[in-house]
Structure 1
Amino acid sequence: MNLELLWVLGLLAIVVALFIINRPRMDVVALLVILALPLSGVLTLEQALAGFSDPNVVLIAALFVIGEGLVRTGIAYRIGEWLSETAGNSEVRLLVLLMVAVALLGSVMSSTGVVAIFIPIVLSIAARLRVAPGRLMMPLSFAGLISGMLSLVATPPNVVVHSELVRHLGSGFSFFSFTPFGLVVLLLGVGYMLLTRTWLKGEAGDQGREQSRRTLHDLVLDYRLSGRERRLRIRPHSPLIGHSLGELKLRTRHGANVIGIERQHHLTTRVLNPDSATVLHQGDVLLLDLFAEGDNLRSLCQSMLLEPLRFKAAYFIDQSQELGMAEVSLPPGSALIGQTVLATALRSRYGLNVVGLRREQSAIDEQLLETPLRMGDTLLMVGPWKAIRQLQTLPHDFLVLSLPAEIDQVAPARRRAPQALLSLAVMVVLMVSGLVPNVVAALVGCLLMGAGRCIDMNSAYRAIHWPSLVLIVGMLPFALALQKTGGIDLVVSTLVQLIGGAGPQVMLACLFALTAVIGLFISNTATAVLMAPVAISTASQLGLSPYPFAMTVALAASAAFMTPVSSPVNTLVLGPGQYRFGDFVKVGVPFTLLVMLVTVVMVPWLFPLS
């Protein structure tokens, strides 16, 4: 073992440790790898930066855009509405339709995005059926993971393994190479969840509330907002006139959170969405979420020359055409964790105000703005409906749990749904036919989405999950460094010496197990980058076809069922499903073993070993 290999293995150990503790972020760790490898002389600068020009990185970015087009045109939500109507009052029918719909939709767009879309839908259906959300949330996450086994472009690990095959052999998998495995696993998954859902405990969603979705009034009651709302008109000569909200600091000085501003515009009254730069005018009516009580309120009105006005409905519900609410949870990795509401500057960044906080099912009233946020906290946000909808495009920081019934169901580009479906169909046909490379087919789909006005450029750039791309770019040279220094050969020779004589099926099982175990600690994409060369080299050492070995690694990378941190989709359902760590172990480990058995049996049958 040479010094270069020792350095690369040591660096790999450090990277895995940083991935496990998630400090710094995984994309930052990937950038550090890009710096460390050329500085140590293991790779040239061109080799370390080669990932930025990899066609598969562009392909994955394009697929994020395609998925966003399906969301903006309302296709994903229409599937959810159809699911609710078709399931009726049958939990069994709901579970089957849910898993099939999520798996099929996830085969052409991000599984994380699909699961995030379906969580509020499933919560509302569970409330209507008086079913514990925990009986449905784990099937939802499992279906999201199984979707990665249904097509070549369903998940980044598939693309990574395909790329490694192309690099070594000149050809990889076809678009539907994964589909037979995915369909069998999906069928088994549905049956498995029907049998094991009784293991998942929990109380009936929303206390059996009959509504399919909560209303603004329900949210006002749940977060104890009633009585905090104020409408105050700015009188002539008020010291507020001519000053911006940032200068006045009403939240910190008076506990007054400005939700909106009613301002006369010609003959109509508009509700403005204020930010720190908004300047107040005489006659403006401030819509306030006010923590001040009694004498403090009277003192504020007297000193600032403000006139209290009456309400037509509680907590600005009469303003529901302009102002809405949303419950959001903080997923792992959210940039808001550890910060106070004031420090997050959500109004400046997203145009939304936090007016409620629930922790462990209890609403926090006192010191709301100064309370440090924790993972799993549920925030109630108030602001324009447009800003609330945009939260659904930020799944890394926010998980939208529920939207009230008053929200306008029209997606930003709802009328463009036919164009979105046509764009998706063209992309799939081009990929299946092989007329053009996959990346070209995906770019054609993106351009058609844009030409059909299904998505604009700003939405397209926001849709791309840049940390995932940087992670791939940083890990690709790591795999090259392991190959160059002999690390891959060392792993392969060890595997062959230990179990090479036991037969190829045993080797496939060991590759699957090794990939799945590594995937417990680092992302499935990074796992695929590291394990794909190992699989191909192992096949070469044994004198067998590399395709079954590569397929095994790809399937194992998607089999992240065993813990709530194995995959983002598991983490997303952890809070809404009220799960514990052991719930995933209890349900996920047996199913992972079942998937491994399917893989070992089916892969040599569809991809001959010799």
Structure 2
Amino acid sequence: MWVTLCLLALASALFISGKVRSDMVAIGVLIVLLVTGILTPPEALSGFSSTVVIMMIGLFVVGGGIFQTGLARMTSNKLLQLAGTNETSLLIMVMLVTVVLGAFVSNTGTVAVLMPIVISLAMKAGTHPGRLLMPVAFASSLGGTLTLIGTPPNLIIQDTLTGSGFEKLSFFSFAPVGLVCIGTGIAALLWLRRFLPQNEEGSKQETDSLSSHELVRRYQMIHNLFRVQVNADSPLVVKKLSELEIPARFEVNVIEIRRKLSLKNQFLKTVDQEVAGPGTVVQEGDILYVYGPYTEVRRFAEACNLTMLDRQVEERPPQDSTEASYVTDAVGVAELMLTPYSRINNLPVSRSRFREKYRVNIVGIKRKEQYLLHNLKDITMRDDDIILIQGKWKDIELLASDQEDVVVIGQPMEESRKVTMDRKAPIAAGVMLLMIILLVTELVPAVAAVMISACLMVLLGCVRNMEEAYKTVNWGSVVLIGGMIPMSIAIEKTGAAGLLSEGLVGSLGSYGPMALLAGTYFATSAMTLFLSNTTCAVLLAPIALSTAVRMELSPYPFLFAVAIGAGMCFAVPFSTPPNAMVMAAGRYKFMHYLKVGLPLQLIIGIVMVMAIPLFWPF
């Protein structure tokens, strides 16, 4: 027992110092418990097979789908419209949303759903994500005090009461005291947020390459992009672009073609988007994205019997701006330079056969401080030019791997991952809603609901592929939780938990009901720093019940103290999955939890000890 307690103290000291990574400390604790024989190998490795860890992995994938489809951005836009960019308004609103969702869904699920939304919201509001993420994690636990299903400890004290012949609790029995708890928590966090990370001046590093959307704006491409629709009697129908010689005849480029798909495909995708290449065959009804001066585009449309489309005619759901015509999840832009020994150096664009060889379009050239955007076919390319290309991300990536003739500036595949798949947002929303319904109704186990949702995110294309799914998981948080779960097993197995609970609760009985209630609450609150809230409730609920009965007091206030005390754990990152989940994204250190979480835990504890008897008298 003493070896376990000493190991726990050492681990806590290392967590506080921050000199060793938290996940490395967790692995070190695991190894010592295994080598000393305190835990058997199955017990030591049980953390990595626990439902909590498996759920965390699945929920990271679900969160990745919410982010990659743009659902997080769309939701954050709506929240910004409601709350504005004021940090206090944002903080209150995201906590209230979290509390409501946390009343019906596990705190882990609540944070996984909201985390990408909150990160997007913080970025749009110009706020450090760390200003919002920790309050969201804490608010998810506060929400669990509203309903019977809010957290496992609530259900545990229900079983303890009914098992001893007492009247069972209703679905909203926790709500009165829970509202006090939530109000106290939100008010305290508004004061304690001063200790959260701040935006640092100069923290934004300048990069050599611009983002795709910045390139579109820099080259003013949206002013030279027009849409025309192919009519039935157009001479372009059923002809390849290479046969039509459009750039030579009209000094414009067809850079993209979009055509509607059959009705059977409309659930997942209604429009086929194709970068225009030499072999692309034009069909009736196609919408051509044409790049060039307006006068030339107009002449092209009149000569070829095409209909000019204005911005009110949409061939797919509207997006944020015309920039989306150049940059989507499939198509992007990038800058490149010619090498001094390139075979296409000093050749005009029309003779470079760039489109035929690389399947991308040259849409602009930057020469010194001048942007060349028109009559590109006649411009001779030089090795000091910066050339803007547009095409499929996979073709840009292939071009980046061929450094004999060209050098692509930046990392196109990294840039492509930032582009959201907006057309998949309704599907991601449906998957998220399905997960919430399964979690609330308990039609399947919670871990099954999460894994089903994670698989659907990948299968339905809300996450691009399995490699991207793996990248959405914060493996440091997974290792931290998986490595620390066996510590709670060791504390319970060696008898340290029973000794602590019996001593703290039993010794205060002679000082009166309030002292006993305070002892029960703070004993639970202290133990939950190192044990799961479920384990704390299982250990302390029967002790609190028997002590109350022995003193001829009502057991309800003491069991409520156990349930709420077990759920209100904020002082350490590894105590609950939500605390660990936001650690990396919020850029928190261990001291942030101590400075914000520990005072919050104490403030709520003091208020709860005074408030519980008002609703559940002794």
**TM-score grouping bracket, smaller chain normalisation:** 0.5 to 0.7
SS of equivalent to 1:61: helix
Q: Conserved in 2, the CA contact under 8 Å of 1:231 and 1:308?
A: no
* Corresponding residue for residue 414 of structure 2: 387
Which residue, out of 3, 6, 10, partners 2:6?
A: 10
Q: Conserved in 2, the CA contact under 8 Å of 1:67 and 1:110?
A: no
Which residue, out of 457, 460, 471, partners 2:466?
A: 457
Return the offset for 1:82: 0.9
Cα RMSD after superposing both structures = 5.8
Q: Distance in 2 between matches of 1:450 and 1:516?
A: 39
Q: Conserved in 2, the CA contact under 8 Å of 1:150 and 1:180?
A: no
Which residue, out of 47, 54, 61, partners 1:51?
A: 47
SS of equivalent to 1:41: coil
- Relative distance call for 1:174 and 1:22 in structure 2 (3 A) is farther
Q: How does 1:160-175 map to 2 (within 5 A)?
A: none
Q: Distance in 2 between matches of 1:198 and 1:32?
A: 33
Q: Conserved in 1, the CA contact under 8 Å of 2:33 and 2:44?
A: yes
Q: Conserved in 1, the CA contact under 8 Å of 2:15 and 2:22?
A: yes
Q: Distance in 1 between matches of 2:424 and 2:365?
A: 37
Which residue, out of 556, 569, 581, partners 1:557?
A: 569
- Relative distance call for 1:7 and 1:509 in structure 2 (3 A) is same
* Corresponding residue for residue 343 of structure 1: none
Return the offset for 1:438: 2.0
- Relative distance call for 1:103 and 1:13 in structure 2 (3 A) is same
Larger radius of gyration: 2
Which residue, out of 33, 39, 53, partners 1:37?
A: 33
Q: Distance in 2 between matches of 1:583 and 1:473?
A: 19
Which residue, out of 404, 419, 430, partners 1:422?
A: 430
SS of equivalent to 2:39: coil
- Relative distance call for 1:23 and 1:191 in structure 2 (3 A) is closer
Q: 1:370-427, CA deviations, whole angstroms, 9 ceiling, x for partnerless residues?
A: xxxxxxxxxxx9533x514758xxxxxxxxxxxxxxxx5xx23x32333333333333
Q: Distance in 1 between matches of 2:38 and 2:594?
A: 40
169-178 or 443-452, larger mean C-alpha shift? 169-178
Q: Distance in 1 between matches of 2:341 and 2:46?
A: 65
Q: Conserved in 2, the CA contact under 8 Å of 1:67 and 1:109?
A: no
Q: Distance in 2 between matches of 1:162 and 1:590?
A: 24
Return the offset for 1:28: 3.3
Q: Distance in 1 between matches of 2:570 and 2:130?
A: 18
Which residue, out of 440, 444, 453, partners 1:436?
A: 444
Return the offset for 1:266: 1.1
* Corresponding residue for residue 147 of structure 1: 140
Q: Conserved in 2, the CA contact under 8 Å of 1:150 and 1:181?
A: no
Q: Conserved in 2, the CA contact under 8 Å of 1:479 and 1:533?
A: no
Q: Distance in 1 between matches of 2:365 and 2:53?
A: 48
Q: 1:241-266, CA deviations, whole angstroms, 9 ceiling, x for partnerless residues?
A: xxxxxxxxxxxxxxxxxxxxx99351
Q: Conserved in 1, the CA contact under 8 Å of 2:533 and 2:566?
A: yes
Q: Conserved in 2, the CA contact under 8 Å of 1:151 and 1:176?
A: no
Q: 1:495-534, CA deviations, whole angstroms, 9 ceiling, x for partnerless residues?
A: 1354343456545545655676788xxxx68675885565
Look up the equivalent residue of 1:493 and give its one-letter code.
E
TM-score (norm 2): 0.53
* Corresponding residue for residue 483 of structure 1: 492
* Corresponding residue for residue 294 of structure 1: none
Q: Distance in 1 between matches of 2:173 and 2:428?
A: 25
- Relative distance call for 1:216 and 1:535 in structure 2 (3 A) is farther
Q: Distance in 2 between matches of 1:498 and 1:557?
A: 24
Q: Conserved in 2, the CA contact under 8 Å of 1:516 and 1:560?
A: no
Q: Distance in 2 between matches of 1:33 and 1:89?
A: 43
Look up the equivalent residue of 2:544 and give its one-letter code.
A
* Corresponding residue for residue 492 of structure 1: 501
Q: Conserved in 2, the CA contact under 8 Å of 1:483 and 1:489?
A: yes
- Relative distance call for 1:29 and 1:487 in structure 2 (3 A) is same
Count of equivalent residues:
438
Which residue, out of 526, 544, 547, partners 1:542?
A: 547
Q: 1:196-238, CA deviations, whole angstroms, 9 ceiling, x for partnerless residues?
A: 88999999999xxxxxx99849x99xxxxxxxx9975224489
Q: Distance in 2 between matches of 1:478 and 1:73?
A: 38
* Corresponding residue for residue 334 of structure 1: none
- Relative distance call for 1:308 and 1:113 in structure 2 (3 A) is farther
TM-score (norm 1): 0.54
Q: Distance in 2 between matches of 1:382 and 1:423?
A: 34
Return the offset for 1:78: 1.2
Q: How does 1:18-417 map to 2 (within 5 A)?
A: 18-22=14-18, 24-88=20-84, 93-101=89-97, 109=109, 111=111, 114=114, 118-119=118-119, 121-122=121-122, 124-125=124-125, 138=131, 141-151=134-144, 184-188=180-184, 216=214, 232-236=337-341, 264-266=354-356, 270=360, 308-311=383-386, 382-384=410-412, 387-388=414-415, 390=417, 411-412=420-421, 414-417=422-425
Q: Distance in 1 between matches of 2:111 and 2:461?
A: 24
Return the offset for 1:146: 0.9
